[in-house]
Amino acid sequence: MTNNKKQGFFSKIRESLSHAIHNPSFTLKEQLGFASGTFGNQMGQDMIATFLVLFLTDYMGIESSMLLVLMTVAKIVNIIGDPVAGAILDRPGGNSKRGKARPFLLLSPFPLIVTSVLLFVVPNISYTSRIIYVFAFYLVYCISDTFYDMSLLTVSARMTNNPKDRKNFYTVAEFAATFGSMLPGGIIPIIISLYKNNYIAQKNVYLLATIGFGIVGLAMMIIPYFTLREKTLADWRKPSQTKLNLKALLLNKPLLLIMSSQIVDSIRQVCYGALTYFYAKTLGAFWMSTVIGAFSAALSYVGIALVPFLGKKLSSRDLIVLGYTYTGICYLFLFIFGYHSLLFVGIMVSLSGATTGMIRTSRKVLLADSTDYMEYKTWKKHGVSVRSEGMVFAMNSMANRISGLWKDLLLPAGLMIVGYVSATIGPNGETIEAIQSPETLKGIFYLVTIPGIIGNFLPALIMFFDNYTGKHKEAILNELYAMRAEQKAIYYAEKAVIEKNIGMNIYSSKTGVNEGTD
């Protein structure tokens, strides 16, 4: 009896995955193309998110306080620029063959990869010059990453109007994204451990790894340009004014809740940023980053695989709430029982990553679905259907930037509070490694666990208020489909009348017949 139940459970998972792969709204080429873009982009983002702060403090010799100022200014500039990028991706007109967002899939990867490599080059220049150097290239990196991320998601949202197929599409892509995110964090710590007592070699490892990942990432990131098309750009939908677009965004409740949870998620990101210091400094076992990363990624794949299966019973909102709550409980246990056992630390942190991919997948699905909610709400309230995918992802990008800004503020601030000492620059421009106190090493542990608890429970609480689920969502979509069919019929009827009149006018001009006279 038990075996039959197990077989039934696993057969349902296999069936769900089969539906995800054999997606009626997307060809295999489109699914692989989008997956390759997410793989390359996630790999580069993980390299920067995991190692940049550590590299800048320990190898570039930039103090935590100065790093705080640098990243704050860069993020503020990018927050201001996100709506501009969203407006560009939603601009009226555009080449119907290339689409509105698709050209940026080819243009943005090049500056993105070049600047990510240059950020891991330590120039033999003064401290002030290094600060200017890092700020300039970090700013360009952020802008390029914004355009690529937003363009890829905007194109994906414009490929189908079927919410169920979207969920399957993003699930397949998340497998690739998770694999991309585990490579830098999995490979680099192992190589660094081989040169534990060679400071110069460690610095070169980071640079060579960035170049290698950059070349692979560039090749992967340009593939979506050649494989994806913006299929749902409807010619019958009238372009909306900027003022109405802003009203539409304020009516988009799912988007506003996602943004709020994303901003609060910055507390959780402090935990992940501090983990690098925790492994390397507190535990003195940087290799654990690779081992835990591998187990965490494997468990994350299980979580992603469960999305199509659990999605039949639970909404994307429910999966996000479940994922955050579960991760928060893992860090609560770590906080209570401490880090005396490396095995226990490894188990808790590995288990905490099981729902990471599920949360990311569900968030992307919810963002794309929110464009339907926006379209419905503006039609009901203003009589015009507004569907601004670019602005939706621009607002999400703004929330990510604000989240990143808070994380960049909180992590260096946390390091200062626990008394972390950065490397110093010698008289000849060389970087000298610093030694941390026992109190600082213990403080790093609290910098991991406390944000890990708070930064998971709060987003879960926020997302609980999203009611665009179940029968309520189904009723909205049914009305929306009817509205689209009606508007489409009216548009093509009016277009046919106009074309008929134009044809009659041409005929009249050729024959000399004036229909207005006898």
* Structural domains in the chain plus CATH codes: 2-231+242-468 (1.20.1250.20), 477-518 (no CATH)
**Calculated CA dihedral for residues 184, 190, 195, 196, nearest 10 degrees:** 110
pLDDT of 284 over the 50 cut:
yes
The pLDDT assigned to 109 comes to: 94
Per-residue model confidence as pLDDT tens digits over 229-245: 877 655 556 665 667 77
Residue burial 164-187, b: 16+ Cβ < 10 Å; e: rest:
bbbbbbbbbbbbbbbbbbbbbbbb
**Nearest alpha-carbon partner for 173 in 372, 396, 368, 374:** 368
Using the predicted structure, report yes or no on whether residue 269 has a pLDDT greater than 90.
no
* pLDDT greater than 60 at residue 22: no
Residues 299-325 have a mean pLDDT of: 85
Q: Contact 24/165 with Cβ under 8 angstroms?
A: yes
Across 214-233, b (16+ Cβ under 10 Å) vs e yields: bebbbebbbbbbebbebeee
What lies within 8 Å, CB to CB, of 328 at 6+ separation is 452, 453, 455, 456, 457, 460
With CA atoms as reference, report the closest residue to 230 among 110, 89, 87: 89
Does residue 433 have a pLDDT over 80?
Answer: no
Is the pLDDT confidence value at 318 over 80? yes
| Mean pLDDT on 171-180 | 82
The pLDDT value given to residue 235: 58
Q: Where are the alpha helices (DSSP H) in 90-126?
A: 104-107, 109-118
Q: Six-digit token pair at 205?
A: 């490892």
Closest of 206, 171, 193, 177 to residue 21, by C-alpha: 171
pLDDT the model gives residue 319: 92
Q: What pairing do the DSSP bridges indicate for beta strands 424-425 and 431-432?
A: antiparallel
Question: Are the beta carbons of 393 and 150 closer than 8 angstroms?
Answer: yes
Q: Is the pLDDT of residue 97 over 70?
A: no
pLDDT of residue 2: 47
